[in-house]
Structure 1
Amino acid sequence: MSGQDQAAGLRKWADLQRQQRGDEAPPEATEPPRPMAYREPIVPSAAAMTPPVTPPTPKTPLMVIGLPDSGPVQVRKVSARLGQWAALGRAWAKDPADWDIRVVMPDDPELASLSQAHSRWALWVSSDADAFGRMYHVLKQLHQHNGPQRLLALHEPHLPRQGLLENLRQAANRYFGIELLLLAR
């Protein structure tokens, strides 16, 4: 029974009660009942019931230099390292899935235009015995090809700041004017 049907029934009952007591009926009780219009129940469409889909946020490009090749294994290595930094509470590292990791070779002919187009660069520093010589050569190539002037040093977690990392930072600055950012643990 609809709400209007109940109201009409209550009005009739109230009118009967008044008549039995001898009261005068209200004016609306003397009017003929109006026909009730049928209304379709309002049912939200399926589109209205599904939550709005927000477009995915674009990934932040991170250009990485110093890896031996540009394969998916190298990208996963960088992503894992960013994940370790994020797990340590480093907000800048974000979720590794938020990064568009691109491996760039230091002799890439497009290096100068890439360095102008992208602001986030990293240097992957290995920890083997020949790492300093290789990284020095990479930094030299960056300088010769007008590469980026500021890079984040990405490296394995066990590599101490003193020694290889600090020596690379000093050489990059002194010989090539490149700022190599070393992060504290």
Structure 2
Amino acid sequence: MSQDQAAGLRQWADSQRQKQAPSQLDAPLASDTEVVSETPAPAPSAVSPITTIDEQPVAKAPSLPKKPLYIIGLPGQGAQSVKQVQHRLAQWSALGRHWAGSPDDWDIQAVSVNAPDLAQLSTKHARWALWINSDADAFAEMYRLLRQARDNGGPRRLLALHEPSLSRQGLLENLREAASHYLATDLLVLAR
């Protein structure tokens, strides 16, 4: 091995060490034990096999930050409620809605329409949703939530989150029209 090749290998090994985590920096690489003399290299036939550097562990790609999704009207504030939203996002993704991605891509946050920082959150974050129940009083309850959100400086554009069995005609369309006409709020209802 010529000196230029050895210097190139040392330089490469140094750059690899700099990329490693601090705990791995103390472990010697195979190139650390290899000694390069200042004398010319022997003839190619007399060269012993070159010590190779073991394959370095593949560094994990940094995970992308989760996309925040703020939801009003979510029944309860626990993990079960978040699972409902994740389940719905997974259904949309399965239907070919690429924006839904994986449910794990989302940072789902339940927010009360009476939260003191609702206006600040609304101006800071663009992704908002309204969880729409499908019981007999759903229209009145959801309209009340949208009105309170508007009165407290909440978002003016929300995605309608609901169970897939809920038809677009009826509750969803009526709620979308009322929100638009009376509250100047866009409620995005996705078709199947």
TM-score above 0.5: yes
Structure 1 residues 73-93: Cα deviation after superposition (integer angstroms, max 9, x where no partner) = 100000000000001111111
Name 1:91's counterpart in structure 2: 98
Structure 1 residues 20-71: Cα deviation after superposition (integer angstroms, max 9, x where no partner) = xxxxxxxxxxxxxx9557556232245x2x2231111110000011112211
Does residue 56 in structure 1 map to residue 56 in structure 2? no
Letter in 1 for 2:111: V
Does residue 167 in structure 1 map to residue 171 in structure 2? no
Letter in 1 for 2:77: S
Runs of 4+ deviating beyond 4 Å: 34-40
Identify unmatched segments of 5+ residues in structure 1: 1-33
Letter in 1 for 2:53: P
Q: How many residues align?
A: 150
TM-score under structure 1 length normalisation: 0.77
* Distance of 1:53 and 1:35 partners within structure 2: 41
Of the candidates 38, 47, 50, which is equivalent to residue 41 of structure 1? 50
1:170 is paired with a residue whose SS is: helix
Compute the RMSD of aligned alpha carbons: 1.6
TM-score under structure 2 length normalisation: 0.74
Letter in 1 for 2:106: W
Does residue 151 in structure 1 map to residue 137 in structure 2? no
* Distance of 1:40 and 1:172 partners within structure 2: 77
Identify unmatched segments of 5+ residues in structure 2: 1-40
* Distance of 2:152 and 2:54 partners within structure 1: 59
Name 2:148's counterpart in structure 1: 141
Shift of 1:181: 0.3
Aligned 1:1-185 pairs, distance under 5 A: 36=43, 41-46=50-55, 48=56, 50-185=57-192
Structure 1 residues 123-157: Cα deviation after superposition (integer angstroms, max 9, x where no partner) = 00010001111101100111100100100001000
Letter in 1 for 2:117: E
Structure 1 residues 73-116: Cα deviation after superposition (integer angstroms, max 9, x where no partner) = 10000000000000111111111110111111111111000001
